[in-house]
Structure 1
Amino acid sequence: MVLDRIGDKWSVLVLLSLAHGPMRFTALRGRIGGVTPKVLTQTLRAMETDGLVTREVFAEVPPRVEYELTALGRSLHEPISAVATWAENHVTEILTHRTQST
């Protein structure tokens, strides 16, 4: 169950994006790219339920909402970042193997 959350593509990208500090929904969506508002909302809600993200609503007009990693979410950043770095370092090699397999 936990691996489903941390292995989810969008959860990983949200976690890596929020590692830089709190972000509003639109800024987060822009940083991630390619995610629909519906999927991002579902991902953020699931991460909030799991205790990885907090959602803070500011009483302003228009209302402002920011998302931020919790201590639990921040503790996940280092291992996820290591996997992301590995993926970036080996993407060419993996793509080469994929094309050779087909």
Structure 2
Amino acid sequence: MARVKDDYRSLAGRQKAAIFMLAVGQKHSAQLFEKMDDEEIRELSQAMASLGSINASVIERLFVEFADQLSSAGGLVGSVSSTERLLMGALPEDRVSQIMEEM
């Protein structure tokens, strides 16, 4: 029988990351995996495979904690330069230049 995680306080950071990746779905997880090296992917995959069943209350608490951490960061600033920095981290430079010129 699969284990059921129902005590949020007992979860390690790697387990929280594994739950997060499973909860956000394949499309969003794929984008995050693209940013990781092989060792990070291997460790996170092992954590995901060993989770067992996760109670909905644990998932909800994880997302509440995530939202709290985002809100305590003081908000976001949307600007041309912040947009360009974000794109530079994800796309080739020539593509970023093209997008920025079209804005």
TM-score (norm 1): 0.38
Structure with greater strand percent: 1
TM-score (norm 2): 0.38
